[in-house]
Amino acid sequence: MLIAAGVILLIVAAGWLYQLSGTARDRRRFPLPGRLVDIGGLRLHLLESGAGHPPVILEAGIAASCLNWTSIQAELARSTRVCSYDRAGLGWSDPPSSPRTVSNAVDDLHALLTAAQIPPPFILTGHSFGGLLVRCYATQYPEQVAGLVLLDPLAATEWLTPSDAQRKTLKRGAMLSRRGATLARFGVVRLGLATLASGLRFIPKLVARAASSGTGESAISRLVREVQKMPPETWPIVQAHWCQPKSFLAMANYLESLPASASQASALGQPPAHIPITIISASNSTAAQLAERDAIAHHSLHGKHIIATKSGHWVHFDEPDLVLQAIREMAAPLNT
């Protein structure tokens, strides 16, 4: 028994040291590309490029970072100022100290844009959860918003009164995320992602089973396929971020806060009708999702709802030109 306990302790210590050395190496290899902006004890990573008006603010999906916008940002920066950032707990930003509700996220974004002295009005572009977030921002701060572009946005009604199945899904997702954080602390996630990147599949399969009790491998495979649509130079950086426990803990926080976020978004209501809105839906959107997005577009005096026929949920990966066109059309009347 003592020998077995000693072996286990040795393995745990080795994993911990592997994680520490890997984290130090990642910090040297992948310094933050933008700047850290203090918004009152919480530092958020902001990446700015280009020049011109109106500024375009890019808001990523629920567990994504500014890296999600690499290609879109590079193209937009040719003609205007464009900013992406990492929400609390993701990418290069600090971990949050408050629940990751949409209301808190809106407060963080407002504080960030104010502290960074980015002049409004903005064109806010959000994907998935980010779409819900920027719509709430426009409702709360309408005088700062020149237009909204929503990419397959999260529907608040889906989570307003979650079913038992949905609650179980959120609970399980949060549980798996917290389990992933534990595995990350001891280098298990790092080892799995490193071997996956090298083309080996056996160890990543074991990690997926350890994290999800045998049901998570397909989800990991789907995420890897989406990440591989990003520029190749971003792949090892995304991998480095998801070797950190904070990314998994942030994911759990955002998932657990979804019902509260839906309630807050519903209470805020629609943005004022004068704000132009373009919504781009994935080809596999449900009838309920399309109906809600139609209603949002029809509420705006300058609303438009487009179906991206060649896209899944990650519209800006599958049809980036469609997204760029929507943002540029929104910005054209305001260019100075």
What pLDDT score was predicted for residue 43?
A: 97
CA–CA distance, 42 with 247 (Å, rounded to integer): 16
Better-scored residue on pLDDT, 155 or 37: 37
pLDDT in tens, 282-330: 999 999 999 999 999 999 999 999 999 999 999 999 999 999 999 999 9
At 51, is the pLDDT very low, low, confident or very high (cuts 50, 70, 90)?
very high
CA distances from 322 to 132, 280, 309, 319 (A): 20, 9, 11, 6
At 16, is the pLDDT very low, low, confident or very high (cuts 50, 70, 90)?
confident
At 191, is the pLDDT very low, low, confident or very high (cuts 50, 70, 90)?
confident
What pLDDT score was predicted for residue 296?
A: 94
CA distances from 51 to 45, 73, 82, 292 (A): 19, 12, 8, 35
Classified as helix, coil or strand, 148 is strand
Prior bond to 54 cis, omega within 30? Answer: yes
Percent of the chain scored above 90 by pLDDT?
Answer: 71
What pLDDT score was predicted for residue 229?
A: 83
- Domain 32-336 is found in CATH 3.20.20.80: no
Is pLDDT above 60 for 25? Answer: yes
Domain residue ranges in the chain: 32-336
What pLDDT score was predicted for residue 223?
A: 63
pTM of the model: 0.90
pLDDT in tens, 196-249: 766 545 444 444 454 444 444 445 556 667 777 888 899 899 999 999 999 999
Q: What is the DSSP letter of 286?
A: -
CA–CA distance, 85 with 57 (Å, rounded to integer): 8
pLDDT in tens, 289-302: 999 999 999 999 99
